Amino acid sequence: MERVYKVYAINNGTVIDHIPTPLALKVVEILGLGNKGILTIGVGFQSKRLPGGKDILKIENRILLKSETDIIALIAPEATINIIQDGKVTKKRIISIPHEIHGVMQCPNPNCATNKLGAHSHFKVEDLEQMTYRCEYCERVTTIIPENLTSPE
């Protein structure tokens, strides 16, 4: 008998493992995957590395770019990326914290042009270790707040 967590293996695509529970749906949202292709989402598996449990996201028939998977580091820096081709893992990718964020993060300053005038949001890293980012419009420095992350524009 296959173990339950192996219930649906994919032949081609991207598997994102070690997402802290319950952030898998947030990852789907910030990658803009909600209405594209076949997704399998597993929530709340036991994990030695993540005491609160882990989620697994399988994206069928799509190889995510490094620039896409690096966005995941904003909420799940421990996530691991496996690229699957013809049923085999052909690449294990380590994600790194992005130096710039385009479009997926809302500025916490309500008076910012990105909130008031609908300007395209753009942040540059302020401190990589602290994971703080500076808004290119109003210069407000912010940490990553998952609620402020949205689908790409």
Using CB under 5 A as the binding rule, whether residue 112 contacts Zn ion is answered as: yes
Q: Please give the helix or strand (H or E) that residue 24 lies within, else none.
A: helix 24-30
Using CB under 5 A as the binding rule, whether residue 137 contacts Zn ion is answered as: yes
Size of the site for Zn ion (CB under 5 A): 7
Residues 64, 13: Cα–Cα separation, whole Å: 8
Position 79: which residue type? A
- Would you say 81 or 112 has its CB closer to Zn ion? 112
Residue 51 preceded by cis peptide, ω within 30: no
Using CB under 5 A as the binding rule, whether residue 105 contacts Zn ion is answered as: no
Residues 125, 49: Cα–Cα separation, whole Å: 27
Using CB under 5 A as the binding rule, whether residue 119 contacts Zn ion is answered as: no
Out of 138, 144, 148, 150, the only residue in the binding site for Zn ion (CB under 5 A) is 138
**Which chain residues interact with Zn ion by CB under 5 A?**
107, 109, 112, 135, 137-138, 140
